[in-house]
Amino acid sequence: MSKLSKNAITVLEKRYLTRDENGNTTETPDELFKRVAKAVAQAEKVFKTKPKEIKEIEKTFYNTISNLDFLPNSPTLMNAGKPLGQLSACFVLPVGDSMDEIFETIKNTALIHKSGGGTGFSFSRLRPNSDIVMSTKGVSSGPVSFMEVFNAATEAIKQGGTRRGANMGCLRVDHPDILSFITCKKDLSKLTNFNISVLVTEKFMEAAKKGEDYDLINPRTGKVTGQLNASKVFDLIINMAWRSGEPGIIFIDRINRDNPTPNLGEIESTNPCGEQPLLPYEACNLGSINLANFVKKGKVDFDRLTETIKIAVRFLDDVIEVNKYPLDKIAEMCLGNRKIGLGLMGWADMLFQLEIPYDSVEACELAEKVMSHIQKVGHEASQELAKERGNFKFYEGSVFDGKCPMRNATVTTIAPTGTLSIIASCSGGVEPLFGIAYFKRVMDGTDLIEVNPYFEAVAKKRGFYSEELMQKISETGSVRGLEEVPTDVQAVFGTALDITPEWHIRMQAAFQKYTDNAVSKTVNFPETATQEEVREVFEKAYELGCKGTTIYRYGSREGVLMVKGKDDKKEEKTEEKPSTEKKTVRARPDRTCGTTERITTGCGNLYVTINEDEEGVCEIFTQLGKAGGCASSQLDSIGRLCSLALRSGVELSAIKKHLRGIRCPSPTWGKGGMVSSCADAIGIAIEHYIAMKSGQEDKIHTIEKNVNKQDAMIGACPDCGSPVSHESGCVVCHYCGFSKCS
Active site residues: 271, 273, 275
Using an 8 Å Cβ cutoff, are 410 and 339 in contact?
yes
Cα of first residue to Cα of last residue in the chain, in angstroms, is 26
Report which residue type is found at 401: D
Give, to the nearest 10 degrees, the angle between helix 347-354 and helix 361-389.
Answer: 130
Cα angle value 331/335/339 (rounded, 5°): 110
Characterize the bridge pairing of strands 283-290 and 277-278. unpaired
- Distance between CA atoms of residues 461 and 354, nearest Å: 16
Burial class (CB in 10 A: 0-12, 13-18, 19+), 356: middle
Using an 8 Å Cβ cutoff, are 264 and 113 in contact?
no
- For residue 578, give the DSSP letter: P
Contacts of 448 (CB under 8 A, 6+ apart): 439, 440, 442
**3-state class of 10 per DSSP?**
helix
- Cα torsion at 633, 634, 635, 639 (round to 10°)? 100
Cα angle value 435/670/694 (rounded, 5°): 115
**Cβ neighbours, 10 Å, residue 211:** 11
Sheet holding 730-733, edge to edge: 713-716, 723-727, 730-733
- Distance between CA atoms of residues 199 and 187, nearest Å: 21
- For residue 697, give the DSSP letter: G
**3-state class of 297 per DSSP?**
coil
For residue 667, say if its preceding peptide bond is cis, omega within 30 degrees of 0.
no
Helices and strands, counts by H and E, the chain: 24, 28
- For residue 25, give the DSSP letter: B
133 DSSP β-pair partners = 138
- Distance between CA atoms of residues 262 and 267, nearest Å: 8
- What values do phi and psi take at 202, rounded to 5? -65, -35
Report which residue type is found at 518: A
Pick from 267, 292, 263, 299: nearest CA to 281: 267
Using an 8 Å Cβ cutoff, are 359 and 445 in contact?
no
Report which residue type is found at 15: R
43-56 core/surface letters (b: 16 or more CB in 10 A; e: else): bbeeeeeeeeebee
**Range list of β-strands (E), 538-680:** 548-553, 593-601, 604-613, 616-624, 668-670, 673-675
Using an 8 Å Cβ cutoff, are 703 and 672 in contact?
yes
Pick from 6, 7, 35, 157: nearest CA to 738: 7
Using an 8 Å Cβ cutoff, are 713 and 563 in contact?
yes
- What values do phi and psi take at 169, rounded to 5? -110, 125
- What values do phi and psi take at 551, rounded to 5? -120, 155
Q: Is the dihedral of CA 253, 345, 292, 116 positive or negative?
A: negative
- Distance between CA atoms of residues 373 and 220, nearest Å: 45
Query: Within 13 A of 112's CA, how many CA atoms are on the CB side?
Result: 32
